[in-house]
Amino acid sequence: MEADSNDITRPYYVCTVCDKRFTTKARLMDHRNRHTGENVYSCSQCERSFSSRSALSTHMNIHTGKYKCTECGRCCHSDKHLAIHRRSHSGEKPFECNVCSKRFTEAGSLVKHSRIHSGQKPYKCTECDKAFTRAGTLIIHVRVHTGNKPYKCSLCNKSFSQISHLQSHKRHVHSNRRPYDCPYCGKLFKTNTALQRHVRIHTGAKPYSCRHCSERFTQPGQLTRHLLKSHNEGTWLTCRICQKKFYHSGNLKTHLRRHEGVKPYVCSECPKHFCEASNLKRHQLTHLNYKPFCCGLCGKYFRHKYSVKKHFKRCFDIVGYGDLLMF
């Protein structure tokens, strides 16, 4: 008797990391990209890239406008996400947390939120002991081990592991647009985060408090440094060459460039190279002859902030405290 074709067992392609099975080798390869953090499929309309062809195909719906909100014009990548987005206009939040009563527009957000209460971290890195509450966070973390940086700047070819880092790079390095202005002094900023950080100078707000003592801080980095120095909480980052310690990974990276002689920031007006972007920006003012810092006592202008501070002390001593009161 001839065997029924439906009884023939189909071959499966098994993932060696998580044992998940796939009916085609292409789907297995796309799945493996999620473990490695590689985004090999790039969008031709924007700078985003994806680990699978299906994810790229779904993303393209945003550019074609297939699922467009009639109220605000926003384009979504699926009918499901368009329905969820419409809830933002109606205010509908049907999913409620049974612990803190916080409400959400979609079930997935509630599931992710509930892990805050349960402490569950189901997504584990196969290279180290770290675990995460979200799959996306794990994918980003894996790039630390692989060195993969799928997001490339179209202006300077610098690569980044996260799209948010690329967007931040473009705002800070390639754009002069500063849409956020301080209500106290009128100073302009590129991001709302930078504005809020600056406003604390005027208000004196210190929202970051130490859990061990009464100290409070205006910036999260100040709290991190305090916990390390005063309470030995956290982990110092140590330079492998001179053993100097740092509390922030960015400071360590900049420090290592000085050991290695790496100067990635190049002046467009002259051949000078710099280790830090801030040093390049300060140097570029010499070509512009721009002097934005003014002494409040004598009205003299300076190119750098540290120059006007140094001058102000001397000017204060010359004018005298009594004369200062007459201004």
Find the Cα–Cα–Cα–Cα dihedral 206, 292, 182, 169, rounded to 10°.
-80
The answer to whether residue 217 sits within a structural domain is yes
Residue 322 pLDDT: 44
Residues 63 and 138 in one domain: yes
Residues 30 and 127 in one domain: yes
Residues 49 and 116 in one domain: yes
Q: Are 302 and 308 in contact (CB under 8 A)?
A: yes
The answer to whether residue 1 sits within a structural domain is no
Residues 228 and 156 in one domain: no
47 secondary structure, DSSP code: S
Residues 143 and 55 in one domain: yes
Characterize 131-162 residue by residue with b for buried, 16 or more Cβ atoms within 10 angstroms of its Cβ, and e for exposed.
Answer: ebbeeeebbbbbbeeeebbbbebeeeeeebbe
- Which of these three, 130, 161, 192, is where a domain ends? 161
What is the CATH number for 204?
Answer: 3.30.160.60
Residue 182 three-state SS: coil
The answer to whether residue 17 sits within a structural domain is no
Residues 142 and 95 in one domain: yes
What is the pTM (predicted TM-score) of this model? Answer: 0.46
Residue 327 pLDDT: 41
Residue 74 pLDDT: 84
Q: Please name the residue that has the structure tokens 């006007």.
A: 308
Euclidean distance between CA atoms 274 and 257, whole angstroms: 10
The answer to whether residue 315 sits within a structural domain is yes
| Bridge partner residues of 301 (DSSP) | 294
- Which of these three, 161, 193, 214, is where a domain ends? 161
Contacts 24+ apart (CB under 8 A), 321-325: 324/297
The answer to whether residue 13 sits within a structural domain is no
The answer to whether residue 102 sits within a structural domain is yes
- Which of these three, 131, 161, 191, is where a domain ends? 161
Q: Give the count of domains, the chain.
A: 4
Q: How far is CA 56 from CA 31, 46, 105, 224, 243, in A?
A: 14, 11, 25, 39, 44
Residues 38 and 72 in one domain: yes
Q: pLDDT (tens digit, 0 to 9) for every residue of the chain, 327 residues total?
A: 333 444 445 667 888 777 788 888 888 887 777 766 667 788 888 767 787 888 888 888 888 888 888 888 888 888 888 888 888 888 888 989 998 888 988 888 888 888 888 888 888 888 887 888 888 888 888 888 888 887 778 777 788 888 788 877 877 777 777 888 888 888 888 878 888 888 888 898 888 899 899 999 988 888 989 999 999 888 888 998 999 988 888 888 889 888 988 888 888 788 888 888 888 877 877 777 777 788 877 888 887 778 888 888 888 776 554 444 444
For the chain, the residue count is 327
Alpha helix segments (H runs only) across 119-189: 135-146, 163-169
Residue ranges making up the domain that contains 85:
25-161
Residue 197 three-state SS: helix
The answer to whether residue 18 sits within a structural domain is no
Residue 182 tokens read as 């301080």
Residue 318 pLDDT: 67
Residues 136 and 214 in one domain: no
Residues 284 and 299 in one domain: no
Phi, psi of 65 (to 5 degrees): 75, 25
Euclidean distance between CA atoms 194 and 177, whole angstroms: 13
Residues 209 and 125 in one domain: no
Residues 258 and 131 in one domain: no
Euclidean distance between CA atoms 327 and 157, whole angstroms: 52
The answer to whether residue 19 sits within a structural domain is no
Reported as type and span, the H/E element at residue 68 is strand 67-68
Residues 45 and 110 in one domain: yes
